[in-house]
Amino acid sequence: MRDRILAFLVLLPSLVLVGIFVYGFIGQTLWVSLTDWGKNPAQALALRPELRFVGLENYRELFTGFVDVRFRQSVVNLVFFTLFFMAGSLGLGLLLALALDQRPKGEGFFRTVFLFPMALSFVVTGTIWRWLLQPQGGVNVLPTLVGLPPLPFPWLTTREQVLVFDWNRLPFYTALLVGLVLLLVAYGAWRGGERRRLFWSLLSGGVLLLWAFTLGSRVQLLPYPEPHGFSLALIGVILAAVWQMSGYTMALYLAGLRGIPVEVLEAARVDGAGSWQLYRYVIFPLLAPITLSAMIVLGHIALKIFDLIFAMAGLDYAPTDVPAIYMYLLAFRGNQFAKGAAIGLLLLLLVALVVVPYLASQLRKEVRR
């Protein structure tokens, strides 16, 4: 009994610290985000600032206010960065793993090289790639080494955007996307014969789509059109991020490939599977759970990305802005703590959407085991 109490006492300080530093601070950030802290510059840095409760005002301003157009571009940037970074890292990582799984000569050497960027900090990676992507140098002059003309692309300094859409259409697109995903879930449930899930996902997906095409397409967030799109200056950042992280996905996939029992592969071959069929019907499905975990990890790294962009483009450059950068700029350069806190909480919400279901399923699996 005494030992049980001792055990609890040993864990207690950590619980208290995590309680305060994680949950307490999140609560405090929530409170700050509901105040006007920083609106009045005289109050911003006061020792005991007078905070007024303003409800969801800060959040409303971020999404529909006149001054926060930069925040909205940063959100769009974040979405595109996350998508392309995940696709790039997963794709390259899988290719590298498949190649190394053929057991080429010097496999260990290749593995070491592909994984070493993981040991670097994003600041080092950013510094290096900033130099590589100088408009008149680095990557752009590589073609001249073989006699071709240099590339003209201004990697980090372009202000060009593609896939531009009007911010006012955001509710429509969001509802459309979520609705389609729900229909996909419904399709999966129908094939798996899960009646309840089929019913609910079909219903909610249908309602969302209905809303999107009726009311949703008429919602006006701003009194004027505001174009946002995929900022091409991000391509360089994505390249650097993929360089740093694809070794990690390679390691995951390689572990997965090596973990497939030989009997399974042989059984499939005996059943007459060709090598493409082997990949399509046996190997890739077995790698799916790894893809899911990798997506979770990469996704939450992407949502938090800060140091890489800080080192590559700096704080003040809007075309490569992401919410983490804008939050730092507002709170620690502009002393607009309330708005910074609101962005911090929005980021938390995004990450929680990704991570909580994952953690819950992992723990449930463990309890079952």
Partner 1 sequence: MGRALLYLFLGLALVFFLLPVYLVILTALKEPAKITLDAVWRWPDPLYWESFRIAWEAFRPKFQNSVVLAVSATLISAFIGALNGYVLAKWPFRGANLLFALMLFGMFIPYQSILIPLFQFIKAIGLYGTLGGLVLVHVVYGIPIVTLIFRNYYSEIPDELIEAARIDGAGFFGIFRHVILPLSAPAFVVVGIWQFTQIWNEFLFAVTLTRPESQPITVALAQLAGGEAVKWNLPMAGAILAALPTLLVYIFLGRYFLRGLLAGSVKG
Of 73-81, 155-163, 226-234, 242-250: span binding partner 1 (CB under 8 A): 242-250
Is 128 or 186 the residue whose CB approaches partner 1 more closely? Answer: 128
Q: Which of residues 156-215 bind partner 1 (CB under 8 A)?
A: none
Residue of the chain from 46, 118, 163, 177 that contacts partner 1 (CB under 8 A): 118
Quick check: 81 binds partner 1 (CB under 8 A)? Answer: no
Quick check: 17 binds partner 1 (CB under 8 A)? Answer: yes
Is 116 or 199 the residue whose CB approaches partner 1 more closely? Answer: 116
* DSSP one-letter string for 184-207: HHHHHHHHHT-HHHHHHHHHHHHH
DSSP 8-state symbol, 47: S
Is 174 or 293 the residue whose CB approaches partner 1 more closely? Answer: 293
Please count the residues of the chain. 369
Of 123-131, 155-163, 179-187, 228-236: span binding partner 1 (CB under 8 A): 123-131
Q: How far is CA 192 from the centre of its chain?
A: 30
Q: Which of residues 294-353 bind partner 1 (CB under 8 A)?
A: 294, 297, 300, 303-304, 306-307, 310-311, 314, 323-324, 327-328, 331-332, 337, 340-341, 343-345, 347-348, 350-351
Residues 6+ apart with CB under 8 A from 103: none
For the CB of residue 304, give the shortest distance to partner 1 in the complex, in Å.
5
Quick check: 363 binds partner 1 (CB under 8 A)? Answer: yes
Strands in the chain per DSSP E:
161-166, 227-231
- Look at phi and psi of residue 46 and say left if phi exceeds 0, alpha if psi is from -120 to 50, else beta: beta
Residue of the chain from 44, 65, 87, 134 that contacts partner 1 (CB under 8 A): 134
Give the position of tokens 């496999």.
107
Give the position of tokens 């709170």.
331
Is 154 or 206 the residue whose CB approaches partner 1 more closely? Answer: 154
Helix, coil or strand: residue 35 = strand
Query: How far are the Cα atoms of 33, 188, 204, 212, 348 from residue 207, in angstroms, in the given order?
Result: 32, 19, 5, 9, 27
Closest CA to 80 of 153, 163, 158, 154: 163
For the CB of residue 277, give the shortest distance to partner 1 in the complex, in Å.
17
